[in-house]
């Protein structure tokens, strides 16, 4: 199916959800990365729906990723949580990996919060660190809005100088500081996986000034920004790659899940405290 027809289907999914949720205003979307799924427990008066019950939604199948949408309140703000995302490495096409951004835009949600587990390329990072994405590099050659045109788009091109909204980042950093929690900022590189990076790739990424590497988020962030949403991206560092003079380490998915579970309480707390200031 061509990207334009896919977007037409996303519109149908959003129309279905608007009726299902029957809620006048949604303040923010949050997409929960590996291990952060339990954030949904923070949502009051939840209404949830399984992805399989939403027209045109693909099924997510990775351990540690959820399969449902939850709408409800956090500190009187209405939040739409995607408990699992759609990854290119699962065989899902690049247009569909940005589905949460499309649904959010069609439901007029203004703010898009994405969370993920990422590998630490910056050797100063430690496992469990929280890092705000301040910018990204996308060497994949893949783009979520390639071949898509909306009536109100003059052309396909768009500025990305403030993709990861500086005001939102500053608000979040202020909350972290007042809670005495360490949150850094970094550049995230999207590599589509499913392999974790080779040592040569890690040394290339370090040369390029990359701090974090992961297999998600960038397609959604690009689409969300093109669609006019303000984006905040938060990574949990689940593994840190050794430098050339350190022994090699193996990365595995279970370790990624364990580490995000440990960091998730801090992450949950900060996101909730931030929402409280809205």
Residues contributing to the site for ligand HPA (CB under 6 A): 117-119, 196-197, 213-215, 238-239, 251, 256
The nearest distance, CB 33 to ligand HPA, in angstroms, is 8
Give dist(CA 215, CA 193) in Å, integer. 6
User: Nearer Cβ to ligand HPA, position 84 or 214?
Assistant: 214
Q: Shortest gap between Cβ of 214 and ligand HPA (angstroms)?
A: 4
Under a CB-based contact definition with an 8 Å cutoff, are residues 69 and 48 in contact?
A: yes
The distance of closest approach from Cβ of residue 82 to ligand HPA in the complex, given in angstroms and rounded to an integer, is 17
Q: By the 8 A CB rule, do 242 and 249 touch?
A: yes
Q: Nearest-CB residue to ligand HPA?
A: 119
Q: Compare residues 211 and 275 and give the one whose CB is closer to ligand HPA.
A: 211
30/121 with CB nearer ligand HPA = 121
Region of residue 205 (left: phi > 0; alpha: psi -120 to 50; beta: else): alpha
Rounded to a whole number of angstroms, the minimum distance from the CB of residue 199 to ligand HPA is 12
User: Nearest distance from residue 243's CB to ligand HPA, in Å?
Assistant: 15
Rounded to the nearest whole angstrom, what is the least distance from the CB of residue 196 to ligand HPA in the complex?
A: 5
Question: Least CB distance from residue 238 to ligand HPA, whole Å?
Answer: 5
């Amino acid at each position: 199916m061509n990207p334009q027809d896919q977007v037409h289907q996303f519109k149908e999914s959003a129309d279905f959800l608007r009726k299902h949720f029957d809620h006048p205003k949604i303040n923010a979307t949050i997409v929960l990365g590996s291990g952060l799924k339990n954030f949904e427990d923070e949502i009051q008066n939840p209404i949830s729906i399984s992805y399989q019950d939403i027209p045109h939604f693909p099924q997510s199948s990775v351990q540690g990723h959820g399969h449902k949408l939850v709408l409800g309140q956090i500190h009187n703000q209405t939040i739409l949580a995607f408990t699992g995302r759609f990854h290119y490495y699962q065989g899902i096409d690049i247009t569909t990996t940005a589905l949460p951004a499309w649904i959010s835009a069609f439901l007029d949600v203004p703010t898009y919060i994405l969370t993920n587990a990422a590998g630490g390329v910056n050797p100063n990072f430690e496992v469990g660190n929280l890092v705000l994405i301040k910018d990204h590099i996308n060497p994949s050659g893949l783009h979520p809005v390639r071949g898509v045109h909306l009536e109100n788009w003059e052309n396909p091109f768009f500025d990305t100088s403030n993709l990861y909204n500086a005001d939102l980042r500053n608000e979040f950093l202020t909350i972290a500081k007042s809670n005495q929690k360490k949150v850094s900022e970094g550049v995230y590189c999207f590599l589509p996986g499913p392999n974790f990076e080779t040592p040569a790739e890690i040394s290339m990424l370090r040369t390029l000034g990359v701090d974090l590497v992961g297999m998600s988020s960038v397609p959604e962030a690009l689409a969300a920004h093109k669609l006019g949403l303000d984006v905040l991206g938060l990574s949990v560092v689940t593994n840190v790659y050794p430098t050339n003079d350190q022994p090699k380490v193996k990365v595995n998915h279970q370790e990624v899940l364990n580490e995000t579970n440990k960091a998730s309480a801090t992450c949950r707390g900060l996101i909730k405290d931030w929402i409280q200031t809205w």
